[in-house]
Chains A and B, each alone.
Chain A
Protein backbone atom coordinates (compact mmCIF):
# COMPACT_ATOMS: atom_id res chain seq x y z
CA UNK A 1 0.00 0.00 0.00
CA UNK A 2 1.30 3.47 -0.88
CA UNK A 3 1.95 5.83 1.98
CA UNK A 4 -0.22 8.53 0.41
CA UNK A 5 -2.91 7.60 -2.08
CA UNK A 6 -4.87 9.81 -4.41
CA UNK A 7 -7.21 9.28 -7.31
CA UNK A 8 -5.04 10.28 -10.28
CA UNK A 9 -8.00 11.62 -12.28
CA UNK A 10 -8.16 13.48 -14.55
CA UNK A 11 -11.15 15.37 -13.26
CA UNK A 12 -12.70 17.25 -16.15
CA UNK A 13 -15.10 19.91 -14.90
CA UNK A 14 -16.75 23.01 -16.39
CA UNK A 15 -15.95 26.47 -15.14
CA UNK A 16 -17.92 27.32 -12.04
CA UNK A 17 -18.21 23.73 -10.87
CA UNK A 18 -17.34 22.51 -7.41
CA UNK A 19 -14.84 19.67 -7.29
CA UNK A 20 -13.50 17.61 -4.42
CA UNK A 21 -10.29 15.61 -4.14
CA UNK A 22 -9.63 12.94 -1.57
CA UNK A 23 -6.45 11.50 -0.17
CA UNK A 24 -5.67 8.75 2.33
CA UNK A 25 -2.44 8.23 4.23
CA UNK A 26 -1.12 5.15 5.98
CA UNK A 27 1.19 6.55 8.67
CA UNK A 28 -0.88 7.30 11.75
CA UNK A 29 2.10 9.15 13.28
CA UNK A 30 1.94 11.87 10.63
CA UNK A 31 1.37 15.31 12.11
CA UNK A 32 1.38 17.77 9.23
CA UNK A 33 -0.65 17.72 6.06
CA UNK A 34 -0.61 19.86 2.97
CA UNK A 35 -1.98 20.34 -0.49
CA UNK A 36 0.51 21.38 -3.13
CA UNK A 37 -0.28 22.48 -6.66
CA UNK A 38 1.90 21.62 -9.63
CA UNK A 39 1.39 23.18 -13.02
CA UNK A 40 2.58 21.40 -16.13
CA UNK A 41 6.38 21.51 -16.37
CA UNK A 42 6.65 23.58 -13.20
CA UNK A 43 7.73 22.88 -9.65
CA UNK A 44 5.20 22.12 -6.90
CA UNK A 45 4.01 25.05 -4.83
CA UNK A 46 2.30 25.02 -1.48
CA UNK A 47 -1.42 25.63 -1.87
CA UNK A 48 -2.46 25.29 1.74
CA UNK A 49 -1.77 23.48 4.96
CA UNK A 50 -4.49 21.25 6.37
CA UNK A 51 -5.49 21.62 10.00
CA UNK A 52 -7.55 19.34 12.19
CA UNK A 53 -10.27 21.95 12.50
CA UNK A 54 -10.46 22.35 8.75
CA UNK A 55 -9.43 25.53 7.01
CA UNK A 56 -10.56 27.69 4.17
CA UNK A 57 -8.70 30.01 1.84
CA UNK A 58 -11.01 31.76 -0.58
CA UNK A 59 -12.52 29.14 -2.87
CA UNK A 60 -10.43 26.36 -1.36
CA UNK A 61 -11.40 24.33 1.71
CA UNK A 62 -9.27 21.59 3.23
CA UNK A 63 -10.43 19.01 5.74
CA UNK A 64 -8.59 16.43 7.82
CA UNK A 65 -10.06 13.33 9.42
CA UNK A 66 -7.36 11.79 11.60
CA UNK A 67 -9.48 8.83 12.66
CA UNK A 68 -9.95 7.77 9.06
CA UNK A 69 -6.54 9.09 7.95
CA UNK A 70 -8.25 11.01 5.22
CA UNK A 71 -7.67 14.47 3.74
CA UNK A 72 -9.83 16.38 1.32
CA UNK A 73 -9.64 19.49 -0.80
CA UNK A 74 -12.74 21.26 -2.08
CA UNK A 75 -12.56 23.84 -4.84
CA UNK A 76 -15.63 25.99 -5.39
CA UNK A 77 -16.45 28.05 -8.46
CA UNK A 78 -13.65 26.46 -10.51
CA UNK A 79 -11.62 28.72 -12.76
CA UNK A 80 -9.70 27.81 -15.89
CA UNK A 81 -6.56 28.77 -13.98
CA UNK A 82 -7.25 26.03 -11.42
CA UNK A 83 -6.23 23.43 -14.02
CA UNK A 84 -3.20 21.70 -12.52
CA UNK A 85 -2.15 18.62 -10.60
CA UNK A 86 -2.95 18.70 -6.89
CA UNK A 87 -0.58 16.81 -4.64
CA UNK A 88 -1.55 15.53 -1.23
CA UNK A 89 1.47 15.72 1.05
CA UNK A 90 2.02 14.24 4.49
CA UNK A 91 4.98 14.51 6.80
CA UNK A 92 6.64 11.43 8.23
CA UNK A 93 6.55 10.77 11.91
CA UNK A 94 6.21 14.41 12.92
CA UNK A 95 9.50 15.32 11.24
CA UNK A 96 10.26 17.51 8.27
CA UNK A 97 10.41 14.72 5.70
CA UNK A 98 7.48 14.81 3.34
CA UNK A 99 5.77 12.06 1.40
CA UNK A 100 3.94 13.06 -1.76
CA UNK A 101 0.88 11.41 -3.17
CA UNK A 102 0.74 10.63 -6.85
CA UNK A 103 -1.33 13.74 -7.56
CA UNK A 104 -4.78 14.36 -8.92
CA UNK A 105 -5.03 16.10 -12.24
CA UNK A 106 -7.75 18.72 -12.66
CA UNK A 107 -8.82 20.15 -15.98
CA UNK A 108 -11.32 23.00 -15.91
CA UNK A 109 -12.96 23.65 -19.24
CA UNK A 110 -14.88 26.68 -20.54
Chain B
Protein backbone atom coordinates (compact mmCIF):
# COMPACT_ATOMS: atom_id res chain seq x y z
CA UNK B 1 0.00 0.00 0.00
CA UNK B 2 1.00 3.64 -0.40
CA UNK B 3 0.84 6.24 2.35
CA UNK B 4 -0.09 9.68 1.07
CA UNK B 5 0.19 12.95 2.92
CA UNK B 6 -1.18 16.34 1.92
CA UNK B 7 -0.41 19.86 3.03
CA UNK B 8 -2.16 21.93 4.15
CA UNK B 9 -4.91 19.88 5.74
CA UNK B 10 -7.23 22.88 5.64
CA UNK B 11 -7.18 26.54 4.77
CA UNK B 12 -9.46 29.53 4.64
CA UNK B 13 -8.62 31.84 1.75
CA UNK B 14 -9.91 35.09 0.34
CA UNK B 15 -11.44 35.20 -3.10
CA UNK B 16 -9.03 36.13 -5.85
CA UNK B 17 -6.05 34.50 -4.18
CA UNK B 18 -4.41 31.17 -5.03
CA UNK B 19 -3.53 28.14 -2.91
CA UNK B 20 -1.05 25.39 -3.69
CA UNK B 21 -1.69 21.97 -2.21
CA UNK B 22 1.16 19.51 -1.87
CA UNK B 23 0.89 15.74 -2.12
CA UNK B 24 3.66 13.38 -1.04
CA UNK B 25 3.64 9.60 -1.49
CA UNK B 26 5.93 7.38 0.55
CA UNK B 27 6.87 5.24 -2.46
CA UNK B 28 7.22 5.63 -6.20
CA UNK B 29 3.88 5.30 -7.95
CA UNK B 30 2.95 5.14 -11.59
CA UNK B 31 -0.04 7.42 -11.57
CA UNK B 32 -1.24 10.29 -9.42
CA UNK B 33 -4.58 12.04 -9.56
CA UNK B 34 -6.33 15.04 -8.12
CA UNK B 35 -9.99 14.90 -7.13
CA UNK B 36 -12.49 17.36 -5.77
CA UNK B 37 -15.25 16.42 -3.36
CA UNK B 38 -17.86 19.06 -2.68
CA UNK B 39 -20.02 18.86 0.44
CA UNK B 40 -22.35 15.89 0.33
CA UNK B 41 -21.11 14.86 -3.09
CA UNK B 42 -18.94 12.10 -4.43
CA UNK B 43 -15.50 12.49 -5.92
CA UNK B 44 -14.92 14.24 -9.22
CA UNK B 45 -11.64 13.74 -11.03
CA UNK B 46 -9.90 17.01 -11.84
CA UNK B 47 -6.83 15.70 -13.64
CA UNK B 48 -4.15 13.07 -13.92
CA UNK B 49 -0.76 14.37 -12.83
CA UNK B 50 1.83 13.18 -15.35
CA UNK B 51 5.44 12.95 -14.35
CA UNK B 52 7.57 15.23 -16.48
CA UNK B 53 4.75 16.46 -18.70
CA UNK B 54 1.55 18.47 -18.60
CA UNK B 55 -1.35 17.10 -16.61
CA UNK B 56 -4.36 15.59 -18.36
CA UNK B 57 -7.51 17.47 -17.40
CA UNK B 58 -11.06 16.20 -17.26
CA UNK B 59 -13.92 18.00 -18.92
CA UNK B 60 -14.76 21.15 -17.05
CA UNK B 61 -11.29 21.65 -15.57
CA UNK B 62 -8.55 23.76 -17.18
CA UNK B 63 -4.87 24.27 -16.58
CA UNK B 64 -5.17 28.01 -16.00
CA UNK B 65 -7.49 27.42 -13.08
CA UNK B 66 -5.88 24.25 -11.68
CA UNK B 67 -2.20 24.14 -12.64
CA UNK B 68 -0.58 20.87 -11.60
CA UNK B 69 3.02 19.86 -11.25
CA UNK B 70 4.58 16.44 -10.85
CA UNK B 71 8.36 16.77 -10.82
CA UNK B 72 9.00 13.16 -9.78
CA UNK B 73 7.29 9.84 -9.02
CA UNK B 74 6.41 10.66 -5.42
CA UNK B 75 5.30 14.30 -5.37
CA UNK B 76 2.66 16.51 -6.97
CA UNK B 77 1.09 19.89 -6.40
CA UNK B 78 -2.29 21.31 -7.31
CA UNK B 79 -2.87 25.05 -7.36
CA UNK B 80 -6.36 26.47 -7.12
CA UNK B 81 -6.04 29.85 -8.83
CA UNK B 82 -8.06 33.03 -8.55
CA UNK B 83 -10.34 31.39 -6.04
CA UNK B 84 -14.04 32.03 -5.65
CA UNK B 85 -16.46 30.67 -3.03
CA UNK B 86 -17.51 27.98 -5.55
CA UNK B 87 -14.03 26.49 -5.16
CA UNK B 88 -14.75 25.66 -1.52
CA UNK B 89 -14.35 21.92 -1.40
CA UNK B 90 -12.15 19.08 -0.29
CA UNK B 91 -9.27 18.39 -2.64
CA UNK B 92 -7.85 14.88 -2.57
CA UNK B 93 -4.68 13.50 -4.02
CA UNK B 94 -4.55 9.83 -4.96
CA UNK B 95 -2.07 7.35 -6.40
CA UNK B 96 -2.25 3.99 -8.07
CA UNK B 97 -0.86 1.12 -6.04
CA UNK B 98 0.31 -2.26 -7.29
CA UNK B 99 -3.12 -3.60 -8.21
CA UNK B 100 -4.85 -2.14 -11.22
CA UNK B 101 -7.32 0.47 -10.04
CA UNK B 102 -6.27 0.11 -6.43
CA UNK B 103 -6.10 3.78 -5.62
CA UNK B 104 -4.94 5.18 -2.33
CA UNK B 105 -6.04 8.58 -1.19
CA UNK B 106 -4.48 11.33 0.82
CA UNK B 107 -6.41 12.74 3.78
CA UNK B 108 -7.61 15.68 1.72
CA UNK B 109 -7.30 19.45 1.95
CA UNK B 110 -10.41 21.23 3.13
CA UNK B 111 -10.56 24.60 1.39
CA UNK B 112 -12.96 27.38 2.31
CA UNK B 113 -13.02 30.51 0.16
CA UNK B 114 -14.59 33.60 1.67
Contact = CB atoms under 8 A, between A and B. Distances in A.
Contact of A96 (B31, B42, B92, B107): B31
Interface string A72-110: 000000000000000101010000111111110000000
A99 B42 CA distance: 10
Contacts of B42: 87, 100-103
Interface string B88-114: 000010001001111111111000000
Nearest to B44: A100
Interface size class of chain A, counting residues whose CB lies under 8 Å from the partner chain: 10 to 19
A55 interface: no
A44 interface: yes
Contacts of A100: 42-44
Contact of B102 (A43, A46, A87, A102): A46
Contacts of B108: 43
Given A97-B48, A100-B43, A102-B42, A43 B101 contact: no
B101 A98 contact: yes
Given A32-B100, A43-B92, A49-B99, A98 B105 contact: no
A46 B100 CA distance: 12
B45 interface: yes
A62 B105 CA distance: 22
A45 B105 contact: yes
A91 B105 contact: no
Interface of A: 32, 34, 42-46, 49, 87, 89, 91, 96-103
18 contacts: A34-B102, A43-B92, A43-B107, A43-B108, A46-B104, A49-B99, A49-B101, A87-B42, A87-B43, A89-B101, A96-B31, A97-B45, A97-B48, A98-B101, A99-B45, A100-B42, A102-B41, A103-B42
| Closest 10 A/B residue pairs (Cβ) | A43-B105, A32-B101, A100-B43, A102-B42, A100-B42, A91-B101, A103-B42, A43-B107, A44-B105, A43-B108
Given A43-B108, A100-B42, 4 more contacts: A44-B43, A45-B105, A49-B101, A102-B41
